[in-house]
Structure formats: C-alpha cells, structure tokens
Chains A and B, each alone.
Chain A
C-alpha cells in the first residue's frame, strides 16, 4: 500500500532554512506529483504549492522566492526547502500525493522557529 513518510521535527532560528523530506513507497513514484500543505498552531490548512511528476513547480504567491520543491526519483523522495524562516513559519508541514486533490498524506513534520 501507499506510504508517505516524512522526516523528523526541526528546530530552527529566525533567518535559517529548513529542508523537509517525504519518502514515498508502494507505487510507481514517477506517476504522480506532490503537494505541500502547512498548518500553523491551532490554524487551518494552507496550500504551499506543488511539484509535478515532470519536476515543474507551482508555488503559492506567499512563498514565492522562499520555497523550493524538488524530486529525487532515485530514492522516491520529494523535498521542500523553506528559506529565511520567521516565527510565522512555525507549523506542521505535510506532503500529499497529487496536485488537485490529495489521496495520501505524510504524517507531518513539525518545524519550530524560535530564537
């Protein structure tokens, strides 16, 4: 069956970067793109962007210039890197399979930003 397993929790200082990984298994990795969604403490879901199976990306305007999503087909892993972190970036970050509706989700990665 399909599994998306994300990397562990991160603690970062303001201005730093974080790179979260999401390893897929149970299906042909090359047939689907991925979406990243985040959820601040007590907040709702926020769409960050997607990376198609081709590697093409589409980022939410709020993250333009600060986020990079990449694929590593050799390890069936998708990455999301967010730069220049502030306390507002403290959230749980989820990867999800596909681009328009999301049939499988990772378990989430807590990123805490604090000085």
Chain B
C-alpha cells in the first residue's frame, strides 16, 4: 500500500518545513532507495532527492532528505513562493517494486 504522507503542510516565506513519509521495514526502513519528487500543478514531477539524502545537481541546497527507521523526511529551508507544489516520496520495496506516497500539498502563505 502507499506510503503515508500528510495531506498538506504550509509555511511562510523564509521558514522551514518538513514533510514525512512513513512506510514499513519492507520499504522505507529496509532500503536506502527513497526519493522525493516535486510536482507543480499541471506539470510532470521533478526529482529533488534520491538515495534518501542525495541532491541532484541543479536542485537548491535548501532541499534536504533524511531517514529514521521507517520514516523518511524532506526538509525545505528558507521557504520560497516557487516551492509551492505537490511533493511525493517513493521507495523501493522488498517485492522488487516501487511505491509512492499519497502526496503532500505544500502551501507557501
């Protein structure tokens, strides 16, 4: 089943927010293959974090990832209006499949 994310989070410009992604020991907790995607309305997803905490070139260092047990987290610091989007986590699983979270809508107040 889908990984668990909060439906929505919000923050003011300049603040930091964290989005959680909870799975099980068969997915998030068992592998280092957690990635995060940003999807603005009407656009294709964009990779922001891979392998739990690696940031692709070109992605702002305001984005960071971490994991503790069965929960992964995406933190965005210095929130900007352009960060407003839907965010999805994704994990490899013990069944050699991939599973996404339900998505979190980030609103910049």
Contacts and interface: CB of A to CB of B under 8 A. Distances in A.
B101 A44 contact: yes
A101 B97 contact: no
Q: How large is the interface on B (under 10, 10 to 19, 20 to 34, 35 or more residues)?
A: 20 to 34
Interface stretch (B12-20, B42-50, B74-82): B42-50
A100 B92 CA distance: 7
B44 A105 contact: yes
Contact of B103 (A45, A47, A61, A103): A45
Nearest to B95: A61
A32 interface: no
B100 interface: yes
B47 A35 contact: no
Contact of A46 (B37, B39, B47, B100): B100
A105 B46 contact: yes
Nearest to B96: A58
A58 B33 contact: no
B63 to A, nearest CB: 14
Interface of A: 35, 37, 44-47, 50, 58, 60-61, 94, 96, 100-103, 105-108
Interface of B: 2, 33, 35, 37, 39, 44-47, 50-51, 56, 88, 90, 92, 96-103
